[in-house]
Structure 1
Amino acid sequence: MSDTQAAPIPQRQNLAPLLVPLAVGALIAVGLGVYGRVHTPTGYAVGPAGFSGPLAMKTWLTTGAFALALVQVFSALVMWGRIKLDAPWIATLHRWSGRAAFLLTVPVAFHCLYALGAQFDVPRVMVHSLLGCFFYGVFVAKMLALPKRGLPGWALPVLGGLTFTVLTGLWLTSALWFFTTIGITL
């Protein structure tokens, strides 16, 4: 570079479009945590139709959501050009696998919050409770950020990656624990 040429000025990224999604997501996460702590657990919330009990139901629904989250990661990598695949249907697969994964988590979360509450006495359960609240906060932030224009290019991949990572943590602290402690049962 010569003395007369100036170094390129880095462009500042506009983070303003992320403020509302992140704030709402944080409120959701904190709100769920507070509800989970102040609500008196009922011990029962969702009938485990077709399952031997609520833990088996939660385990299998979480496993289904986790499997669909793997589809989400694969389809996102294809959509972002990280995996080369001529698949015009990949965006549809991404949207519907995400919707299905989310729907599988709803009865699990309802049972966890309503029947059990947020618990902090056992480390695994404490981590699971915190991850559950964080999952819904990150998910809401990602959904609210999707239609926003002017987001930094890293915003959606980071929010999607966080959503996947937290769901992985939830699966590890619940379903994997169930499978290794109780066994594989319906």
Structure 2
Amino acid sequence: MTAIHQRPSRSLTPLVWPLIAGGLVVVALGVFGRAHTPTGFAVGVAGFSAALPMKVWLTTGAFVLAIAQVVSALSMWDRLGVAIPPAVHRWSGRIAFLLTIPVAFHCLYALGLQYDVPRVLVHSLLGCFFYGVFTTKMLALPKRGAPGWTLPVLGGVAFTVLVGLWLTSSFWFFTAIGFKV
């Protein structure tokens, strides 16, 4: 095959700054979560009996919307044979992210990064990592010349981390405590 028929190589260079920014977010959240003195209270729980059920249900909503993200992404990449409008992907992602904000704020401000219980340690680390991956993905979106695998991989990692967050929080809550609101 001659050079004329080869595909242009895609460089990792466009991903350097998004990866650095995402890494800084992970570290900053982890350091803040550890250095900050937890207050025990951060977010009002309007409509919920307490902060924990609020966090569980908002995380579950984000988890369900993350599944919609995967399905709509597969559609956008023509892997389903069904056309789902790209707006479904954008809006399900936006809403899922917004649902995580009060949860993350409460976790960081009220509880901090905890490491006494293995489940809670994993959950704390996944929470920091999620926002780092999300930052990287959002900053990589407009990058031209990035490898074609960039968005599917970053989206897949963000989904996987969110599933881990859901398993170490909401799933644990539902199985250990029950379906409280």
Same fold, TM exceeding 0.5?
yes
Which residue number in structure 2 is paired with residue 82 of structure 1? 79
Aligned length: 180
- Cα distance in 1 for partners of 2:7, 2:73 equals 28
Which residue number in structure 2 is paired with residue 162 of structure 1? 157
Given the alignment, which residue of 158, 161, 175 partners 2:170? 175
- Cα distance in 2 for partners of 1:73, 1:13 equals 24
Identity in percent: 67
Given the alignment, which residue of 100, 114, 128 partners 1:119? 114
TM-score (norm. length: structure 2): 0.96
User: What is the one-letter code of the residue matched to 1:180?
Assistant: T
Q: Is residue 68 of structure 2 the alignment partner of residue 71 of structure 1?
A: yes
Q: Secondary structure of the equivalent of 1:147? A: coil
Which residue number in structure 2 is paired with residue 31 of structure 1? 28
User: What is the one-letter code of the residue matched to 1:129?
Assistant: S
Higher alpha-carbon Rg: 1
Residue 11 of structure 1: how far off its partner (Å): 5.8
Summarize deviations over 1:98-125 as a string: whole Å, max 9, x none: 0000000000000000000000111000
- Cα distance in 1 for partners of 2:80, 2:22 equals 30
Summarize deviations over 1:48-88 as a string: whole Å, max 9, x none: 1100100000000000000000000000000001111134x
Residue 13 of structure 1: how far off its partner (Å): 3.1
Which residue number in structure 1 is paired with residue 95 of structure 2? 100
8 A Cα contact 2:120 2:168, kept in partner: yes
Summarize deviations over 1:115-166 as a string: whole Å, max 9, x none: 0000011100000000000000000000000011011000000000000000
TM-score (norm. length: structure 1): 0.93
Given the alignment, which residue of 125, 131, 138 partners 1:130? 125
- Cα distance in 2 for partners of 1:57, 1:32 equals 21
Which residue number in structure 2 is paired with residue 55 of structure 1? 52
- Cα distance in 1 for partners of 2:156, 2:178 equals 29
User: What is the one-letter code of the residue matched to 1:38?
Assistant: A
